[in-house]
Structure formats: structure tokens, C-alpha cells
Amino acid sequence: MAQTGSNDTVKLLGSWSSPFALRGRVALHLKSVEYEYIEEADVLNSKSELLLKSNPIHKKVPVLIHGDVSICESLNIVQYVDEAWPSKPSILPSDPKDRATARFWAHFVDGKCFESIDAAAGAKDDAGRIAAAGSLMECLAALEEAYEKSNKGGDFFGGQNIGYVDIACGAILGPLSVIEAFSGVKFLSPETTPGLVQWAERFRAHEAVKPYMPTVAEFIEFAKQKFNV
Amino acid sequence: MAQTGSNDTVKLLGSWSSPFALRGRVALHLKSVEYEYIEEADVLNSKSELLLKSNPIHKKVPVLIHGDVSICESLNIVQYVDEAWPSKPSILPSDPKDRATARFWAHFVDGKCFESIDAAAGAKDDAGRIAAAGSLMECLAALEEAYEKSNKGGDFFGGQNIGYVDIACGAILGPLSVIEAFSGVKFLSPETTPGLVQWAERFRAHEAVKPYMPTVAEFIEFAKQKFNV
């Protein structure tokens, strides 16, 4: 049964190809929140009035519109969903130290990891590609170690259930598959990141993720349009 | 009287010149947490063993060491302090929507604001300086608007008391004063940002801030060493 924090309507403005919008959808699904999903029609070429009005600072999806309040930034949305619909399952852990650790790794994903992904995607020459690949490998090695330390024998970073770090990390899977396809380099492999390989498979197959996660082929097709290749 | 979330010892590894370490000190002061402050001795030229061990990913101050757990990243530390010592005063607001708004602006400070500050500090020519100054002015105009909307007639972003956004924004005051001194441009002025000018004065003078906030002259002297000018 749907849980709602209030009677206000809930809308999520997203884009099917956005790894950040995916986070909002997964969080809302985990909490069984009923919401209207609004696809930002032409995310590559123009921005809708609704997007410009609801996220005037960054002008980016996702935006969660709850009643008359707009919540922007995907990790902020996930934390908001966890707090506005506080019944189980919790997305963030309850212990302050575990919460701080979860926030650290989520911040790491949006910082160093996505910087490396952006550098790899935008590299203009071999030297740039090699440097970006090296940085990305280091990030994934750090995440592999964090995964081994944090999952306590469970299937996810959050243990038995998908949690905040899973939702944060899930955003790298699409971009990573595109970079792997274009570069021919396997960044997630059983040799270097055995835990993450298994985690990624479970994450993609999870019922709160599967309906919203594009296929690798769809990600690649979108990247070809975006980068005009 | 000191409040402690547990009997574990609390240490903050910081640097007097770090606007991010300042955040940790202000948060701990607000919660009356007893802690040992450890100054990272030579932040410009070398990193201590304790820093490398407690923040192996980013190797940066501040680090909060609570018992055997290290908490890294300044905004993460502030949220942790709020959650680990939950008695009043609260640093984040209690309403989920207000919390999301506070997190949005804190993220804005560490994103767009500090990108503009770094660009202004690192600009190599007039074109770079003008572009960075324009971007910084836009950021401050956005913060001015946020301040006017959020303070509800109080003295701070958090209303009557210093809160999460105040602590986040407080970190820009030092770097901003250095950029103003070097460029001769007044970024915070009664004409363009009247609310922020008054806010900054109150923030600097607050008893949880004043003992830890370097003077403008000290910031400028440090910047001269850092940039070797």
C-alpha cells in the first residue's frame, strides 16, 4: 500500500537517460510513494518551463515536486524521500556513524567518481584518456573496498537491502557501460572489482531499479546522440 | 555543560586557515561538545601521519575522530555532529522540506560558489578574472535571495540561531575577503547584497564562530604564502 507523508501530490521531473533521475525513482519505489513521473521531453536540446521554474539555479533533472515545494539535486531528493516518508524501509542507516559513512561514499561518487567519468568521456587524446582511466580505476578500487567493508555479508552496500550508497553508486553504472563500450576497457571486472561486479548485477535486477534502468544499448544510443558520434 | 553522545573521545583535526575546518569547530561549539583540537602543522607543504591515516581518500582537513571512527568532509561532519549529539540546539531544521532546502544551499556553496572562488583565485588573465567575478556575483545574488527568503526575520539563514546554511556559507567569508583584497572588487556590499553584509557581520561576531575565525589580515597573509605572492 502506498505511504504518503502528506496529502500533497508528488511529481518527479526526470529523464529516462539520467543516472541522477534514476536515484529519485528508486527511492520513491522503495518507499512505495505514489507519484506522477514527468519526462523532460528533450533533455539534450531544450529545457521545459516546468524545469526552469522548479530548478532555476541548476536547471537540471531530477526535481521532486511535493505540493508547492521543489526539491533539487538527486542525493538531496533521496534523503528527502527517506525523511518525508519515514516508515520502513529506511534508505539511510539509523546509526549516526553509519549515516556519516554512507554520506561520505555518496559524496565520493558525485565528486571524484563522476569527475573521472566526465574526464574519460571528454578526453581529447590518448594521454587524457589514460589519465582519466587511471583515475576511474582508483575510484572503483576504493568503492570495491568500501563495498567489502560495508555490506556485512549482505547483497548490497546497505546490507540486505538497497540503501543510500547503493542508490548513489547505481548512477555510475550507465555512464560506465558507455565508457566501456567506447573504450574497449573493462572497468568493472571479476579480476579487479569482483564485489562490485556481483553488486551491479543484483542492483540492476532489483525490483526497485529494473523498471527504470535503461539497457546498455539504450545508454550507448543516447551517448551517440549526445556526443554526436 | 558539555553534552556527549557517548564516552568516546572526540578529536578534530583541522587547520586554522581552513574555512572547512571552521565548520567543524562551529558545529562542535554549538553542541557544547568537549573535544581535542589538533592543528595540522604544515598544511601547505606536508601531511601528517594522522591525516593520511584518518582521511586516506581525500587527505584533507577537517577530520572528526570520534572513538575509532573518522568522519571526513566538512558538511558531513556538521550533519554527524547534529545527529550524534541530538539535544538542542539543532543545526539542521526539523521539517523535511526545510532540511532539503538547507542541504540544497549548502551543496550550492560547496559546488557553484567554491568553483567560482577557485576560478577567481586561479585566474591567469583579465578575461578569466572577469568571468570568475561574474560567476561569483551571480552566486552571491542567489545566496542573498535565499537569505531573504529563509531567515524569517531572524538574524541568520537558520532564523534566530545559526544553522546548517550559516555554517556552510561561513566558509566563503575568508576566501572572499582575500579575493576582495587582491582584486579591489567588493563582492559583498550594501548595494548588491545588503542582507549578506549584515549576516556576515553577525556570523563573524557569534560566540560559536569568533574564537575560530581568522582575521582578514591573517587570511591575506596565508594566501600570500599559499600562492607565493
Q: What is the CATH number of the domain that holds B42?
A: 3.40.30.10
Residues B58 and B127 in one domain: no
Q: Per the domain annotation, does B1 fall within a domain?
A: no
Nearest C-alpha in B relative to A57: B142
Q: What is the pLDDT along chain A (229 residues), one digit of tens a residue?
A: 344 456 799 999 999 999 999 999 999 999 999 999 999 988 778 999 999 999 999 999 999 999 999 999 999 999 999 999 998 799 999 999 999 999 999 999 999 999 999 999 888 888 998 999 999 999 999 999 999 988 777 899 988 999 999 999 999 999 999 999 988 899 999 999 999 999 999 999 999 999 999 999 999 999 888 877 7
In sequence order, the 6+-apart residues with CB closer than 8 A to the CB of A88 are: none
Beta pairing class for A69-72 and B10-14? unpaired
Interface contact flag, A104 B73, Cβ < 8 Å: yes
Asked if residues B97 and A66 have their Cβ atoms less than 8 Å apart, the reply is: yes
Interface contact flag, A76 B107, Cβ < 8 Å: yes
Structure confidence at residue A227 (pLDDT): 79
Grid coordinates given for B72: 571526513
> For residue range B172-221, what is the model confidence (pLDDT) as tens digits?
999 999 999 988 899 999 999 999 999 999 999 999 999 999 999 999 99
> For residue range B68-91, what is the model confidence (pLDDT) as tens digits?
999 999 999 999 999 999 987 999
Domain boundary pick from A60, A84, A108? A84
Structural domain count, chain B? 2
Q: Which chain B residues are within 8 Å of A135, Cβ to Cβ?
A: none
Residues B27 and B79 in one domain: yes
Residues B214 and B116 in one domain: yes
Can you list the positions of beta strands (E) in chain B? 10-14, 36-39, 63-66, 69-72
DSSP assignment of B54-118: H-TTT--S-EEEETTEEEESHHHHHHHHHHHS-SSSPSS-SSHHHHHHHHHHHHHIIIIIHHHHH
Task: Determine phi and psi for A37, rounding to 5 degrees.
Answer: -95, 125
Contact status of B116 with chain A (Cβ, < 8 Å): no
**Long-range contacts of residues B48-52, Cβ cutoff 8 Å, at least 24 apart:** B48/B13, B50/B13, B51/B13
Cis peptide before B19 (omega within 30 of 0): no
Q: Determine the structural domain holding residue A113 and report its residue range.
A: 96-226
In sequence order, the 6+-apart residues with CB closer than 8 A to the CB of B168 are: B23, B75, B78, B105, B106, B109, B110
Residues A203 and A104 in one domain: yes
Beta pairing class for A10-14 and B69-72? unpaired
Complex ipTM > 0.90: yes
Residues A160 and A134 in one domain: yes
Contact status of B83 with chain A (Cβ, < 8 Å): yes
Across all residues in chain B, what is the average pLDDT?
Answer: 93
Q: Per the domain annotation, does A203 fall within a domain?
A: yes
Q: Per the domain annotation, does A3 fall within a domain?
A: no
Residue B6 has pLDDT above 90, yes or no: no
Structure confidence at residue A3 (pLDDT): 46
Structure confidence at residue B2 (pLDDT): 43
Q: Per the domain annotation, does B2 fall within a domain?
A: no
In sequence order, the 6+-apart residues with CB closer than 8 A to the CB of B210 are: B204
Residues A65 and A126 in one domain: no
Residues B55 and B80 in one domain: yes
- Position B58 confidence tier, pLDDT thresholds 50, 70, 90: very high
Structure confidence at residue A124 (pLDDT): 87
Q: How far apart are CA A161 and CA A164, in angstroms?
A: 10
